[in-house]
Structure formats: structure tokens, C-alpha cells
Amino acid sequence: MSKIHITTKVNGEEVEFLADPRDTLLDCLRDQLELTGTKEGCSTGDCGACSVTVDGTLVCSCLMLGVEAQDKQIETIEGMAQDGELHPLQRKFIEHAALQCGFCTPGILVAAKALLEKNPDPNETEVRYWLAGNLCRCTGYDKIIRAVMDAAAEMRGAA
Amino acid sequence: MAKDTANELRIVGTRPDRPDGLDKVTGRARYGADISAAGLLHGAVVRSPHAHARIVKIDASKALALSGVKAVVTRDDFPTGLTGEAWDLQENTMAGERALYDGHAVAAVAATSAQLARDAAKLIEVEYEILPHVTDVDAAMAPDAPIIREGAADHSVPDGLHPNVVRYIEFGHGDLEDGFAKADIVREHQYKTEAAHQGYIEPHACMGQMGADGKGEMWVCTQGHWYIRKMCTQVLGLDASQLRVTPSEIGGGFGGKTTIFMEPLSLALSRKAGGRPVKIVMSRSEVLRATGPTASASMDVKIGMTKDGKITAGSATFRMQGGAFAGAPVDMALYCAFAAYKVPALQHVGYDVLANRPKAAAYRAPGSPMAAFAVESLLDEMCNELGLDPLDVRVKNAAQSHETSSFGPKFGVIGLNETLAATQAHPNLSAPLGPNQGRGIASGFWFNHGGDTSVSMALGEDGTVTVSIGTPDIGGSRASMAMMAAETLEIPYDNVRVNIVETGALGVNEPTHGSRATFATGKATVEAAQGMIVEMCKRAAAKWGIEPDAVEWRDGAAHPAGPNAGEYPPMTIGEIGAAMSNTGGPIAGHHESVPAGVGESFGTHVVDVEVDPETGRTTILRYLVVQDAGRAIHPAYVEGQYQGGAVQGIGWALNEEYVYDDMGRLQNPVFLDYRVPVASDLPMIDTVIVEVPNPGHPYGVRGVGETGIAPPLPAVANAVAAATGVRMRHLPITPSKLLAAIKASKNG
Amino acid sequence: MKYHCPKTFEDAAQIAADATGIIRYLAGGTDVLVQMRAGMVTPDDMIDLKHIPGVKDIVKNADGSWTIGAAVAGAELGAHAEFCADYPGIVEGLELVGSTQVQGRATLTGNLCNGSPAADSVPAMIAAGAIAHVVGPNGARDIAVGDIPVGPGKTSLNKGEIIASLTIPARNAQGGDAYLRFTPRTEMDIAVVGCAVNLTLDGDRVATARVAMGAVAPTVIVLADAADTIIGTTLDTDALDKLAAVVSAAVKPISDKRGTAEFRTDVAGVLAKRAAKIAYDRAKGTK
């Protein structure tokens, strides 16, 4: 079994790694690039803990092969804060206590960021349906939804 | 002396940012699988596909022939001679003569990549002789049920019961016959709940390393690393001190990560692979098949009530299966069953039964949700029959502070009356309901817990403080400990850093379970801080040349206590820290105990549902949690516990269950078909924190994590009954079952 | 496993012809990667179709029909306002597959070729009369989408045949479609029953109709008798009740972990009523 050399951009930085063709993008991010912020919760695309964006589209990295990353632009949780400054979503999550164990948090933040880039003024139902693929077992989702809507409001105010 | 009036508190009761928040929103926090080491190997586990089978032969030769495969272990690599719970743990860690459930580990392999380990596991050939199996709790007690283990029953079990009945409990008080005779109506029904999994999003993961000398290290996501240490060393025949366990951050536990599953395998593989570290990360289907869900229950409840709503007698007979080992929480279920009520005559009988299912683990208030479903449903049925308001009936029969509980001990100060009153006053009770909508109410209870606690606290040279605790942070408890330390020392919250330290650094700690961390670790933190205050006052006294008891601690500094002590400028904690080397040496506080004064917690929930009468699908419209927290150290994290528990209960009531086929194989081992609630299934969860302070804790804390999962099961069932006129007595209330029941009720 | 990125369908077909072991095609990968990780399949050759020109295109042809490339993801289809206006039923079917993340990758062709009896996008495609353009070692051919799945996990495609694109007929001006499914949760479940209705109107009356049911048989079934009950009607209560009754009588589903046969039978009728109503309102322009 031979590995394939992949060059791609992750969080704006060009990186390279060797991928076994059967490795998922999630495997490669975590094990080859040591970006462990993206989590594995199920490997069946049911929990969203592995959420990243690829060329601007929100996907489960467990449902993509590492070899498919060639020449793509990938954004992970590690790229969300810019120059040491937290994204409003990250700040609001802390402020609203929208995390308990924190394991689902990276996936939810990446997903919520993708939502607000597409729709800066979602209502509660739209937020809930967008995040339906991000399981949280600790919070019951209440504070997560509040944090996302509060961040959206702040980002609209600042715009 | 700790303050006990809310308006004297500066920090407790506020909502500062949690200290690990930054790490957790940036992906920097490291969980069980987020670790690597030089020479790392990856482990994979071979698991039985049969519910019950004799293991005839294991042939690992093809796997070992693969380049990159470094070790294979089977039960032969484990010591013999264990008994009791230690034997149970070992048997569950790796099957011996027989595989006892679909998913039971029979062998494990370590290889240089995770992919290779999985491929190698597939090459390990296991020959099985399939045996008859049983998965249903009532069927497992029947005379013709296959015997899962001979001689596993203990002295509690009466003669004449099937060998699968391994524990028996019976307790009660009063004259039952007389009590029922005094009732105007006596009703009895059977209620059933299915096994549910805690459903934490982080699968079990560990990295273990063990040398030929038996000395080892482990990194693991766990609720309690001393338990991991104890259990791994028992199962492997080692001394406790030979293993050092470091807890990672933990991605949820809810009780399911208070025990071991594959952790000893990583150590055994490591030792066999020349001491190279071995990482094992469970897949989701392994988590569901082979870690510990909670028990399923078959329950008979009988209650007698007068027509003005006084409960005169009650009896509960519960049968629960906890998998192929003793440990179904039938005792705790029975203790909880009538805990919210003062009943003159009660009888409880419980059976802990074996079945060919995975070894059950604790799940948030183990036993309490099942008991609440049975008792609170029957009470609701009887209130409806008599035309009584269910909250009024609860108030009328409510258990009281300082009185004997239904399960024996006297309650301390409890807040049940206050939660009922707060519920009655809540606007959700008057929200209008439309067609096909209904409201359900239920109460619930949890004991909470003290347990082995050990905390240490150290003063830095700059006056900042480091607190070392042993309870992993599942839901924000670092913040609560820092708040309590800062409050006691009267220093800023940001000047306290809380670390969860490894097993070598503190005395034994029980896990973060039993809703004990804020109570027990918190109490020990306060005690340790008070110890440090005593020492700091001694240093100031020595410098001033006065008696130590003439010094008092105020606003983060030592002051002469009163004008007679003398006129000296205060010595701040920073000044004391800077000078400590020269005034007697390092200053630290520490505290070890099994703290007394645990405060029980009651909650009452109100849920509004809408049922689609053509499909049986239930939608949650509105949900309210009212629960006594004693004192909410950090109210946002208390609300979070209420909301999380409610939603787990909603999932258990509506959709979650273990589904086995007729071969005893788990049919839904992935999140697609093990259906936990998703964001679009739910509304916001309203919460009310009632505070009836627990006198047993310096700040009045009661545990809050567990009570909240008990009321949802009956509350949802009660609401569905109100919405449809149909009473569901077997959870989960799936659309299939509900539609069939609705149709049957229409047909007369 | 060998990973291939052919640049043409001819190259892809050649790779498949030369392959001696298990072949899998990769568009969105939301089924095949799950199956690989679960140990259900270990492909010897994985042929990624996404580097072939045209696979990501959504084209409205001169005659008003639509051609959708094999690798168009749900999110992309859902963002195409004009296609959504013509065939909201097909779009809502595909958009019900999995989560927002899955939508970023999942495709109509993948959903079709995975061969699940419960596939959400297939009933509406069949109801619309969609055609698959298949390329293979023996040239190209067109197959009705309904003829592709032949049983759970199985298609009628021969070795080396790949779906290059799907064509959906032009939307009749007075036409509307809808897809509904029953799931216990609001999202993230496999359909317990799925129903697509595609109809055209003549004034207020239903002129033509197709009723396609998913998850009640090994493949999607088209119920001509059910369609007949609403043709010529204004979809009044009587017609809807008849529709539900005929659908419930026609389906013979199994009981499995997701639902009993009785439940599926009852809900099939309920969904048919509700989907027909939505399709009707869309055709009238009132929805």
C-alpha cells in the first residue's frame, strides 16, 4: 500500500502530507497535520464533530478522503480566531456558557460560522435546522442557539 | 468562616468566563484521542458477533504475520484468580470461556497504524459455538431462560429464583394492607423502559504504556482516573502505585466513563509490544455495542389514594437487567421511587437480572428515571381519574425536611416544597394549549454524593493560587472551584488557577459522578483554602509579633483583628507569598475527607407536547425545569445541567432504545438509528433555579447534574396522555407504538 | 486501495474495465466512506468522478428540461433558484438526506446508485420522469431513473457503467411536485416512509399525476391506481381520502427496526394525501 503526497491549504497556510488512500480527511487533519481540534465522534456523518469547510462549503471531514484535499482550501476550528482575536461566535459561546464538555464545540462553531456567512440574520428555526447535524449531548442546545443568534446580531451591528 | 447570605457573596452566584473556555472554543483542549507519543502503536479490538457463545479457538497467526503488527492479546495474557467485582471487570474487559454479548471483546491487536490495526483485527480468526441467549429482563427470569452464569447470585437472593437473578432487595415500612384498605382508589400497572446509552459525543479513547516491570502510564478520557487506576491494576494484577493515570479533557461521560472498558487492553498490548505506547480509540458502534448503557426495566407499581389526593400506600416491584454482570441499579431505583412523597406504608422489591447484553454502567441518576417513569405515570393516571391537580397532589404528599425518607434515612434540609411552589407560580402553566396538545408534569429526585475527596492548594510567590483537584471537568466545574477558592480567600477569580492533576499528585478521589464535584471537591477546596488562611495569618502574626488568633483574614490580606491587636498595615496575599521562603517555607493547604452533609435535590418539570394524530409523532412545544440547587455557584452552568438532563430524558422518553434482533445482535449501534435529540427537535428549555441552601456545604451547594434526567420520562408520557387520551406505559413512545395505541383507542 | 482521478468518462470506463477487484465510484462519498469505515467494503479501486468536465453543471436545456451533472451536491442544487422553482420536490428530497454537512457533498446520482429503498431523492425523480445518461464500455445509453435500483444496495448498471448526468423533463407550466417523508425526529433519520407526487393541472382539476412511494418496498414503487384516484378531481377531501386508502391498500412494507409494517401502511396513505396537497398548491402557484 503506498501513500499519496497531497498539497493543500489549511487555514490559509500551504501544507503537505502523505495520505493512505483509505484515510479520511479527518484522519489526515488529526494524525498527519496534528490539527486535533476537529474531532471524531461517529465516522458515519451523523454527529458533525468533524465539521470543516472545503472551498467554502461545510462538510463532514469523515466523509471525505484525505486524497481529495489536493489543491483545496480547508478551514478548521484552528483557523477561526484571527491574529489571536476570537471570532464573535467563539466569544459568545464562552459568554453564554454554550459549552459544557466542549467536544462538539469545534464542529458547531465551524458550522455556525458557515451559516452566518450564508445568512447573517437567521431566525431560531433556521439556526436549529442548519445545526441539526451537530449533535450535542450536554447542553440540550438552548445556550448554543442563543450564542449563535447573539453573535449574529453583534456581527450585523458591526457590519 | 464562609458567608452564607447571598448578598455577602462577591463571586459565588456570578457568571465569569470559565478558565478552560479559550482552549475549548479554539480546538486547543486535548481530549482522549488528541495525544501522540514516540513509537506510538494503535490498538483494535476483536469483538464477538454473537450474543452468547463458547469461544472454541482464537487463531491470530494471520494477523501476526502482517508487517507492522506488534502484539496480540487474549484472556490468556491476564492473571487468573480474581473474584467478585474485580473478576467481573476482567471478564468484561476480555471474554474468558464465553462471549456474553454482541460486542464482547475477545482479542486485541496493536499495529503501527490505526488502519493496519483494523485490518489485522479482521484477520484474527475466532471459532465460536453459539449458545442460546436471552436479552429481555422478564424472559431472563423465566424458568426456561438460558443460564448466563451459574453461582453469580449473592446471599440476598431467595431460593427458587432463576440463576440469572443475581441480587435481590426488599425494604419497606408500615402496614401495606391497611394502607390500601384506607384508599378510595387502588390502581396498579406495569411500566417498562428500554436500555439507553449515555450518548457522549466523544468515544472512549486512551493511550497506555507499560514496561516489562509493570510500571505504566495512561492518558485517558475519564470521569475518574483513580477508578481507572484501581480497575486497571486489579484486572492486570498490578499494584495501584505502579500505574499513573493522567486525565485528558473529557467529551461527556454522564456516568459511562466512570469505569473501564478497553483501557487495560492498551496496557497489556503495550507490555507485549516491548513497552511502546498503544492508543485505542473506540468507534461509535463499539461504544454502543460494548460500553455500558443503562439497564432496561420492567416495573409493577401499585398506589392507593383517597379521593382528596392523599397517598395511603404504595408498592413497587422492579426487575432490571444490567447486562451479563450484576449491577443494574435496581436498589437506587427503588430508593428513588417514592422519595418525593410521605407515604405511611410502602413496600419495595427489586431483582437485578443478568442478560446477554453489555455490562451496564451508570447513566445520570442511575435507576431514578425508570422509577420516576413508573410512579409518576401512575400518580398522573390516578390524579386524572379523580379530577385532581397533579401539582396540588404532590404538594399534599410532599416529603419534608428532617423527616424519614421513603428509603430509610432522614432527609436533611430539602427543597421539594419550594420547587413545587415555584412550578405552580410559573407562567408556562398558563400557556394556552391547542388541539392535539397536552401538558405533563412530573417530579424527580437524586441523593447526590460525597465520596473520597482530596484537594491541594498552593500559594505562588506572587500571591496567585494554584488549586489541584481530582475531579475531571465535565461541565465547567473548574470555574466553580476557582470561584469558591477566590470567594474564601477573598482574592480575584482570575488569580486562581485550577488544575486537574494525575493520580500521583493527590490522595484518592472518587470520579466526577453522583453530582458530587461541586459539593465535595468544592467543600474540600474551601477547607483547603481555610487551612491556607490559617497558615498565612500565622506568618503575619509572627512578623508582627502578635498571637495568631489576633490576626484575621479580610479582602485577601491578613489584618490585626481589632484595635487591641496593634496597628500594623495589612499583609496582602502577594506580600505573604513573596516572603514565605523566609518566614517558614512554602504555603499550601490541603484537605482529604469523605465529606458529610450531602444535600438531596428535587426537581419538577412541566412539558407541553403536540401529537400528530395521523402519524403518532410527538413534538415538544415547551419545557420547564424547576430544580433546587441549594446554591448555584455559577448559575449558567447549573442551568446547563438542567437543560442537558431534560433533553437526555426527552430522548429516552421518545426515541432512544437498544434494539436487538432475534439473534441477540444490536440493531442500532450508530447514531443514525440510536436516535438522540437533534437541535431542530427541541424548543428552548426554560429553567428556574430554586435555592434552598444545603447547610452541609459552606456555600449551600447541592449536586445538580443528575436530578434533571428523572422527571422528563414521566412528564413526556403524561403530556402525551393529555394530548391523545392514550396512556403509554412502555418507553420509548415511538410514533409506531403511539399510532397503534391511538388507533386501538379509537376502535374501542 | 488505488485512487483514480480520470479526466473523462472514457478514462473512467477504461479504469473500471481493467479493474479486477471491487470498484467504487466517488462523487460525494457520503455513502461509500461510511461503508468503508464500517468494514462493509474495501474497494480495490476508487474512481473519483469529480475531475471530469461537466459533472458539476446544472444546465437548463433549450426545451426547458434540466441536465444535472453526476457530482452536483445537494447544497449546490438547493442554491439554484430556477431549478428549485421547477422541481421543489426533487430538491427537498435531496435536501432531506443527512445534515447540512452531508448536503455539502451528497449527490442525486449517489443517492440513486446506493440503492437504498429509503433513498429520499429517488421517489421525486421517478415521479418527474427523470432519465439517467449512462456511459460505459459499450457506449452510452439512457435509462429511466426508476429502472436503475433493482433491490437494496443493487443497481441494474453493468460493470464499468457510470451515470454521467440526469435529465429532468421540462416542467409543465401548470405542474408541481412535492416529497414528504416520515421520520421520528425532525432531521437526521432514514425515511420510514417516503412519498413523492408530481402532477399537472388543467384549470382546477388534476390532469396528470404520478405517485411514487419509497421505503415501503425493496425499490420505489409507482402507484398508477393511486394516481388515478386524483386525476380529474380538484383534490377535495373525498379524493384525498380515496388516495390515502388506495395507497395504504397497495403498499406491502416490511417491519424492521425503523417501523412496523402496519405503521408504514398507515403513514403511506397520510403522506400521499399531504404530498398531493402540496404539489397541487405549488402547481396552482399558491405555495
All structural domains of chain C = 2-116+131-168 (3.30.465.10), 176-282 (3.30.390.50)
Chain A partners of C30 at a C-beta cutoff of 8 Å? 45, 60, 63
Mean pLDDT of chain B: 96
Sheet holding B125-130, edge to edge: B98-99, B53-59, B125-130
C69 touches chain A (CB under 8 A): no
Q: Which grid cell sits at B399?
A: 416529603
Question: Please, which residues 1-20 of chain A have a Cβ atom closer than 8 Å to chain B?
Answer: 20
Contact C38 B673 (CB under 8 A): no
**Residue-wise pLDDT tens digits, B83-98:** 999 999 999 999 999 9
Question: If residue C53 lies in a helix (H) or strand (E), which one and from where to where?
Answer: none
Q: B669: left (phi > 0), else alpha (psi -120 to 50), else beta?
A: alpha
The predicted pLDDT at position B748 comes to 60
Contact A86 B30 (CB under 8 A): no
Cβ separation of C98 and A45 shorter than 8 Å?
A: yes
Read off the pLDDT of residues B520-537 as tens digits, 9 standing for 90 and up: 999 999 999 999 999 999
With contact defined as 3+ CB pairs under 8 Å, the chains touching C are A, B
Q: Are B105 and B45 in contact (CB under 8 A)?
A: yes
Q: Write out the H or E segment, with its range, that includes residue B189.
A: strand B185-193
> Residue B523 and residue B517: Cα distance in Å, rounded?
9
Provide the grid cell at C107: 449527490
Distance CA B1, CA B743 (A): 64
Contact A4 C102 (CB under 8 A): no
| Dist CA C47 CA C26 (whole Å) | 6
Nearest residue of B to residue C270, measured between CA atoms: B614
Q: Is A18 on the interface with C (CB under 8 A)?
A: no
The pLDDT of residue B1:
40
Domains present along chain B, CATH in parentheses: 6-29+450-593 (3.30.365.10), 409-446+598-747 (3.30.365.10)
SS3 state at B154: coil
For residue range C240-265, list pLDDT tens digits in order: 999 999 999 999 999 999 999 999 99
Contact C33 A51 (CB under 8 A): no
Q: Is B304 on the interface with A (CB under 8 A)?
A: no
Mean pLDDT of the region A94-112? 97
Peptide bond preceding B735 in cis form (omega within 30 of 0): no
Residues 6+ apart with CB under 8 A from C72: C55, C56, C57, C58, C107, C108
List C-alpha distances in Å: B312 to A94, B188, B408, C93. 50, 14, 18, 56
Q: Which one-letter amino acid corresponds to residue B597?
A: G
Domain ranges for chain A, please list them.
4-79, 88-158
* Gap between the Cα atoms of A79 and A77, Å rounded: 5
Q: Which residues of C touch A44 (CB under 8 A)?
A: 34, 37-38
Q: Determine, for residues B672 and C190 on separate chains, whether the beta-carbon distance falls below 8 Å.
A: yes
Q: Helices in B217-367 by DSSP H: which ranges? A: 225-236, 263-272, 284-290, 330-337
A126 CA: distance to closest CA in chain B (Å): 9
A-proximal residues of B, 471-490, CB under 8 Å: 474-476
Specify the CATH architecture of the domain A4-79: Roll (3.10)
Summarised one tens digit per residue, pLDDT across range B4-53 is 455 689 999 999 999 999 999 999 999 999 999 999 999 999 999 999 99
**Structure pTM?**
0.97
Give C-chain residues touching A48 at CB under 8 angstroms: 99, 101
Q: What part of B 98-157 touches C (C-beta under 8 Å)?
A: 118, 122
Give strand pairing partners of B467. B457, B498
Instruction: Flag if A43 and B30 touch (Cβ within 8 Å).
Output: no
For residue B678, the distance in angstroms to the closest alpha carbon of chain A comes to 5
Residues B216 and B210: beta-carbon distance below 8 Å = yes
A111 vs C contacts (CB less than 8 Å): 100-101
- In CATH terms, A88-158 corresponds, of 3.90.1150.10, 3.30.70.330, 1.10.150.120, 1.20.58.1610, to 1.10.150.120
Q: How confident is residue C138, by pLDDT bands cut at 50, 70 and 90?
A: confident
Q: What residues of chain C lie within 8 A of the CB of A62, using their CB? A: 33, 37
**What span, in angstroms and rounded, lies between the C-alpha atoms of A49 and A134?**
7
The interface residues of chain A toward chain B in range 105-144, judged by CB-CB distance below 8 A, are: 105-106, 109, 124-125, 127-129, 131-144
pLDDT of C40-86, one tens digit each? 999 999 999 999 999 999 999 999 999 999 999 999 999 999 999 99
Cβ–Cβ < 8 Å for C201, C286: no
Q: Which whole number is the average pLDDT over B180-206?
A: 98
Residue-wise pLDDT for C146-162, tens only, equals 999 999 999 999 999 99
Q: How confident is the model at residue B2 (pLDDT cuts 50, 70, 90)?
A: very low
Q: What is the pLDDT of residues B254-305, one digit of tens each?
A: 999 999 999 999 999 999 999 999 999 999 999 999 999 999 999 999 999 9
Q: Spell out which residues of chain A touch residue B634, defining contact as CB-CB under 8 Å.
A: 97
Quick check: C190 and B680 CB within 8 A? Answer: no
pLDDT, tens only, C73-128 = 999 999 999 999 999 999 999 999 999 999 999 999 999 999 999 999 999 999 99
Quick check: B673 and C186 CB within 8 A?
no
Which amino acid belongs to residue C45? D
